[in-house]
Chains A and B, each alone.
Chain A
Amino acid sequence: MKSKGANKAIHDAGFVVEAEVKASIAGQRAEPTSVDTGQFLNSVKTDNSKKMQSMVSSDVPQSLFMEFGTSRITERRHFRNSKERKKQKINTMIKEAIK
């Protein structure tokens, strides 16, 4: 039963991170706003198809350049900073689930 709870907590954590990434892209966090057409913002998805795993990703080509920067574009770290900001909350969610 604990593994079921942990699985749900991990999948819920994916949505928490997705919301944080979207807030970051939309300019509601410290990172620069990355919305022009909204394609990047709308491409952020959470994949909960695997057990005990949740993957937040974007499949548009510019997402890589936004996240890591290039020789001409400064990095914007939407995903990595969001993960760091929510790490504590995710740890708490999982701990609560397996108590």
Chain B
Amino acid sequence: MAVQEIVGSVFLSDGILFVRDSLRANIGDPGSRGDPAQFIFTSYPKVSVKYPIITVKDSGISNIRRLGMGCEQTAMDMAFEVRVWARNVKERDILTQEVFYHFQSNQFGSGSETANVGLHDFNMSSMVNVDDPGEQGLKSKVMEYNYLYINQ
């Protein structure tokens, strides 16, 4: 995996790339495309795609606070939006479960778990269904994951 640690000077891009690469390495593609780059993206693709896909975006940084007097380090809340776009409800829900379970069970350890790269205090704040209108409309689920990050 490319991002081994979220570096303070590039924490936004590192954070997004870590989440994306972590999903690419661990979530199986139901479309059997063979290339995870065709399945998991960091923004909604501009070119035509085959569904299902997963998009990862940052939802902003909030609550940035210094760690103490005379200290340049900050703690902040980082939010990531992971959205599953699928052809039907079953596919959407299976992928959503896999994504959630991956983040839930990949927090602590000695490898590339979230706590090791600098993302602590796993929390999922919302999960909302947003289905395109119509019977044939795409089914999507928007999840928001929050982490505590210490910028050193």
CB within 8 Å of B: which residues of A? 64-65, 68-72, 80, 84, 87
The docked-state distance in angstroms from the alpha carbon of A68 to that of B140 is: 10
Cross-interface CB contact of A70 among B59, B60, B132, cutoff 8 Å: B132
Instruction: Give A80 to B138 CA distance when docked, in angstroms.
Output: 23
Q: Is B60 a contact of A71 with CB atoms below 8 Å?
A: no
- Give the interface SS of chain A, mostly helix, strand, loop or mixed: helix
Which chain A residues border B142 with CB–CB below 8 Å? 68
A-side contacts of B62, CB under 8 Å: 84, 87
Task: Tell me which residues across on chain B come within 8 A of A84, comparing CB atoms.
Answer: 60, 62
Output the nearest chain B residue to A64 by Cβ-Cβ distance.
B130
Q: How far is the CA of A65 from the CA of B137 in the complex (A)?
A: 13
- State whether B130 touches A65 (Cβ < 8 A): yes
CB–CB B85/A71 < 8 A: yes
Interface string of B136-152 (1 = CB under 8 A from A): 01101010000000000
Q: Mark B30-69, 1 if CB is under 8 A from A, else 0.
A: 0000000000000010000000000000011011000000
Contact call A71/B128, Cβ cutoff below 8 A: no
Q: For chain B residues 84-118, which have a beta carbon within 8 Å of chain A? A: 85
Report B-chain residues with C-beta under 8 Å of the C-beta of A71: 44, 85, 132, 138, 140
Contact between B132 and A72 (Cβ–Cβ < 8 Å)?
yes
B138 touches A70 (CB 8 A): yes
> How far is it, in angstroms, between the C-alpha of A80 and the C-alpha of B93 when the chains are bound?
23
A73 to chain B, nearest CB (A): 9
Using Cβ atoms and an 8 Å threshold, which residues of chain A touch B59?
A: 80
- Cα separation A64 to B131 with both chains bound (whole Å): 9
Inter-chain contacts of B63 with A (CB < 8 A): 87
16 contacts between A and B (CB under 8 A): A64-B130, A68-B128, A68-B130, A68-B140, A68-B142, A69-B44, A69-B130, A70-B130, A70-B133, A70-B138, A71-B44, A71-B85, A71-B140, A72-B132, A84-B62, A87-B62
